[in-house]
């Protein structure tokens, strides 16, 4: 019986990683598995309302959350600082990595006490020490990468070929062995392919070695979105690869969508009321992720571009030390007064899935993080693409050149965390405005783009429904666990 399948899960301390993993836990439980989520207190508190909603009442899903203490002070972090988006300074990332490595011993103590013994251990791939833990307890380990098959294949082919290694930062090159002709420069690559220090190279090597010995991999994507890339990934990695997304689609009603990831800094009813007042397909939703930190001049360029575009907009400005400065600029410059009624600015966490699914939203200005990209696809929206760092330039290529649902603002260089002031303004307001207007235009090209986006939305929905590709892959995953 499926109820006897017990799966333990351990997410990474970054919203882009633990939010889809919580969605995955809900889906596994919906398919009859018992799930134990092992995480730290701050992360658990962020998704507690979402878990409570599905474990209590009629649904009664079998999800248990177990805590391990996060060693903030031992790693030189402020007490209670347990996630990437909570870091007061970007140079504390190394402290966070030290703390994550220190979780192994308390994790193993807790894991030993879990009864019945889990059939599988699903862990974020960047928690490389879990490989050793899985060997110790003789439990098959499945890794969660949190990216697309397109990104995985690009990364694999670049790692094995090394075609980019001896080139200059701005010299373009083709990624070998892809179904499409895809070109990058070295300056656009993630640190995993272009490590900037000895420490980051050693970290990436450990992650790669641990990933190579995993039993299998779960992917937040669906086969119809990138069929040729999943086919190639299965050829590279073997058949133990399951595309089970888009994971965000497990959030069906507005309450689930509003409470996904964190408590929103805006009242959801106020947000929906504002959107209800706008024309269908007229609003630009602009959000550049939960950990991206643009410089003040760059934020001002973005705000000025949204104002100049003349479209209604929702602009999410993440919390952090620069938020007060951009708020002061909005007031002193007159931006707030000039955009009153036409612009809704959200300071902090926004209910993104709820906003994207509203009929008044017509485009998504995004940093191309994989969760956001997939949420945009699931909402059937064309995108204005503005990659900043990590694998975001790779995701942009998928959206713009393969799926043909995006228009780029023209970002050319990855701006890694902590380097924002050094780069200053990398995209000017005219370029942002031009991309927004191109996506929102009512002409033939704009309409084709919208139709392609709507077609992908329908495919995503079908993939998650009974007998859909992702639904069947989830069944296969649980069947595999039952045989352990």
Structure tokens of 31? 């398919």
Residue 377 has a pLDDT of 98
Residue 51 has a pLDDT of 92
The model carries a pTM of 0.96
Residue 9 has a pLDDT of 98
Q: From the centroid of its chain, how far is CA 70?
A: 23
- All structural domains of the chain, each given as residue ranges with its CATH number in brackets, are 2-250+464-482 (3.40.50.2000), 263-460 (3.40.50.2000)
Question: Which residue in this structure is represented by tokens 């899903």?
Answer: 61
Tens digit of each residue's pLDDT (9 = 90 or more) over 35-86: 999 999 999 999 998 899 899 877 789 999 999 999 999 999 999 999 999 9
* Cβ neighbours of residue 89 closer than 8 Å, sequence gap 6 or more: none
Nearest to 151 by CA among 367, 460, 399, 382: 399
Question: Which residue in this structure is represented by tokens 């070695």?
Answer: 209
CB atoms within 10 A of CB 77: 20
- Name the stretches of the chain with pLDDT < 70: 1-3, 261, 319-321
Residue 1 has a pLDDT of 40
The DSSP line for 113-158 is H-SSPPSEEEEETT-TTHHHHHHHHT--EEEE--S-HHHHHHHHHH
Residue 321 has a pLDDT of 59
Task: Give yes or no for a contact between 96 and 84, defined as CB atoms under 8 angstroms apart.
Answer: yes
Identify the burial level of 178 via C-beta atoms within 10 angstroms of its C-beta, where 0-12 means exposed, 13-18 middle and 19 or more buried: middle
Residue 187 has a pLDDT of 95
Nearest to 300 by CA among 266, 283, 325, 320: 325
Residue 438's Cβ-side half-sphere holds a number of Cα atoms within 13 Å equal to 16
Size of the chain, expressed as the number of residues it contains: 484
Tens digit of each residue's pLDDT (9 = 90 or more) over 270-308: 999 999 999 999 999 999 998 888 899 999 999 999 999
| Strand ranges of the sheet holding 241-243, from the earlier edge strand across to the other edge | 63-67, 34-39, 6-10, 120-124, 141-144, 216-219, 241-243
Question: Which residue in this structure is represented by tokens 């990058």?
Answer: 184
């Amino acid at each position: 019986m499926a109820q006897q399948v017990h799966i333990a899960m351990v997410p990474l301390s970054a919203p882009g990683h633990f939010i889809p993993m919580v969605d995955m836990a809900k889906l596994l439980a919906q398919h009859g598995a018992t799930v134990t989520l092992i995480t730290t207190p701050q992360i658990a508190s962020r998704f507690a309302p979402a878990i409570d909603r599905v474990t209590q009442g009629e649904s009664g899903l079998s999800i248990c959350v177990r805590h391990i203490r996060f060693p903030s002070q031992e790693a030189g972090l402020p007490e209670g600082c347990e996630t990437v988006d909570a870091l007061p300074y970007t140079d504390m990332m190394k402290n966070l990595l030290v703390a994550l490595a220190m979780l192994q011993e308390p994790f193993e103590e807790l894991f030993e006490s879990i009864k019945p013994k889990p059939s599988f251990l699903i862990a974020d791939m960047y928690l490389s020490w879990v490989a050793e833990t899985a060997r110790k307890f003789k439990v098959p380990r499945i890794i969660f990468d949190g990216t697309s098959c397109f990104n995985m294949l690009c990364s694999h082919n670049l790692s094995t070929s090394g075609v980019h290694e001896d080139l200059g930062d701005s010299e373009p090159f083709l990624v070998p062995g892809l179904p499409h002709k895809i070109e990058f420069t070295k300056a656009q690559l993630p640190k995993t392919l272009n490590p900037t220090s000895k420490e980051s190279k050693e970290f990436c090597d450990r992650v790669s070695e641990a990933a190579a010995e995993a039993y299998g991999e779960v992917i937040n994507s669906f086969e119809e979105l990138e069929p040729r890339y999943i086919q190639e990934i299965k050829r590279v990695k073997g058949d133990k690869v399951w595309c089970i997304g888009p994971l965000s689609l497990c959030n069906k009603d507005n309450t689930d969508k509003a409470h996904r990831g964190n408590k929103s800094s805006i009242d959801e009813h106020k947000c929906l009321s504002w959107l209800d007042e706008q024309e269908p397909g007229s609003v630009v939703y602009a959000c550049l992720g939960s950990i991206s930190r643009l410089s003040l001049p760059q934020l001002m360029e973005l705000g000025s571009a949204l104002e100049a575009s003349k479209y209604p907009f929702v602009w999410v400005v993440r919390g952090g030390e620069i938020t007060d400065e951009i708020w002061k600029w909005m007031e002193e410059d007159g931006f707030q007064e000039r955009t009153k009624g036409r612009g809704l600015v959200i300071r902090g966490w926004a209910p993104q899935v709820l906003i994207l699914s509203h009929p008044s939203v017509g485009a998504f200005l995004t940093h191309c993080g994989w969760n956001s990209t997939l949420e945009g696809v699931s909402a059937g929206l064309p995108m204005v693409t503005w990659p900043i760092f990590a694998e975001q330039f790779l995701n942009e290529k998928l959206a713009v050149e393969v799926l043909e649902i995006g228009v780029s603002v023209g970002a050319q260089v990855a701006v890694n965390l902590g380097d924002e002031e050094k780069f200053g303004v990398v995209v000017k307001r005219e370029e942002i405005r031009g991309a927004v207007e191109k996506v929102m235009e009512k002409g033939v090209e704009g309409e084709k783009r919208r139709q392609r986006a709507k077609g992908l939305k329908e495919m995503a929905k079908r993939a998650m429904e009974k007998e859909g590709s992702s639904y069947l892959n989830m069944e296969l995953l649980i069947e595999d666990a039952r045989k352990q």
